[in-house]
Amino acid sequence: MPARAGNGRGAPVAIVTGASSGIGRALAVRLASSGYRVGLIARRVELLESLRDEIAKARGLAVAEAADVGDRDALRGSVARVEEQLGPADVMVANAGFGAPTHLDPLNIDDVEQTFRVNLMGVVYSIESVLPGMLARRSGQIVAVSSLAGDRGMPGESAYCASKAAVNVYMEGLRIALRERGVVVTTVCPGFVQTPMTPMDAAATPFIMSAEAAADRIARLIEGRRGGVHRFPRRMALLMSLIARMPDALVARLVGDGSAHEPAPAEPAP
């Protein structure tokens, strides 16, 4: 059963960013089935509206608002419209993510900036949009969907790993600062999850889990108002803890030097 609502309007309200696919979509369905009113935020309007209708057919309640989480003003506006329709947010799940290989020659700076804009600043903007109300009510939960990739900078994935490490540290400081303020802070660090962002090579994605399985774990953390850092699946978390302690040369032998992510050299001009 969902945690008791703190907004005074009946069923608790959960807002999920990145709700159009992957973990976000699965989590929205899971929370709606447990009695939450769900705010759906992502960029792709058609997918959001389809999900909203699917939840409605299952007798749940969801509203959809399009926004890019990397656009501060757009996100704040979308969250405000969700709260106007559903009531103040009891839970904010900052789930939206972006991933692109990190190239070296030349450096793909636009992709690096977009990675940090979505993965880090998108979390910060999501929190900003609901935290004042939660502090005023002395109630709420903030959930950031990070990644085990934040444990170690991996060749070819420097920007993605760094963005997730930044999320982990940001949430850690926030958790300590809010521990007596009534707001639960939860950091979720999954391993490989079957989403459109994940490569399909089984050898490159050990211990991969479905989006539905990941969403169920996150939903249980929300329903139990469990704060702290949660890393799963256990075997992948253990593997990453080992990799994080390996010397660079051994990591390069195991996963390569990142050159497989490099774009093919351009053909010389005729």
User: Mind listing the pLDDT tens digit of every residue in the chain (270 residues)?
Assistant: 444 444 446 899 999 999 999 999 999 999 999 999 999 999 999 999 999 999 999 999 999 999 999 999 999 999 999 999 999 999 999 999 999 999 999 999 999 999 999 999 999 999 999 999 999 999 999 999 999 999 999 999 999 999 999 999 999 999 999 999 999 999 999 999 987 666 555 557 889 999 999 999 999 999 999 999 999 999 999 999 999 999 999 999 988 877 666 664 433 333
* Nearest CA-CA partner of 153 in 238, 257, 58: 257
pLDDT at 269: 36
Which amino acid is it at 257? D
Other C-beta atoms within 10 Å of 40: how many? 27
Q: Please, which residues have CB within 8 angstroms of residue 264's CB and are 6 or more apart in sequence?
A: none
Among 36, 125, 160, 170, the one annotated catalytic: 160
Q: What is the pLDDT of residue 203?
A: 58
pLDDT of amino acid 3: 44
CATH of region 13-259, choose from 2.60.40.10, 1.20.1070.10, 3.40.50.300, 3.40.50.720: 3.40.50.720
Domains of the chain, residue spans: 13-259
Residue 66's closest CA among 56, 54, 52?
52
From residue 105, how far is each of 102, 130, 188, 266 by CA, in Å? 10, 41, 33, 12
Does the annotation count 160 as an active-site position? yes
Residues 6 or more apart whose CB falls under 8 angstroms from that of 214 comprise 23, 26, 190, 193, 232
